[in-house]
Structure 1
Amino acid sequence: MVSNEDYFFFINDDIEGFAKSYNTDEIWRKLTNCIINTLKKSKINSKNIIGITSCTQRQACIFLSKEEEVIYAGPNCDL
């Protein structure tokens, strides 16, 4: 592993803990930090990068509006 960030936490903002969501700004910050740190440590020429992806193994569902704004981001609760 070249870079990692600590787990992100739920925000319980209504229905006394039953409705949970994620702070998408915090998730994005942690993801970009991992990418930046990985690129620095690996010393890969950015011209050789075709794409970058991440996976959290069914961590969350994120719904976007037509304008690609986050409507809701919360845990995957079907397990």
Structure 2
Amino acid sequence: MVVDADLELDARGLRCPLPILRTKKALATLHSGQRLRVLTTDPGSMKDFSAFARQSGNVLEVAHEVGEGEYEFVLVRR
């Protein structure tokens, strides 16, 4: 699946809570409706990004494993 993103964040190799903290910081640079694509390798990311989207009000448009141990998320800034 290819999704156009306005900004990409490579958080591979980082452990919780760093992927979420960096995502929050990156989203703050975007305007409402813009997309952020994030790549992670933290196995807890699936739960973390789902919870983050619910709590922050941003839309989690894509959340899936793209390869063994690598995850992709696309969030739409609220």
**Higher relative contact order (CA closer than 8 Å, sequence separation 6+):** 2
TM-score, structure 2 as length reference: 0.34
TM-score (norm 1): 0.34
Structure 1 or 2, whichever has the larger Rg, is 1
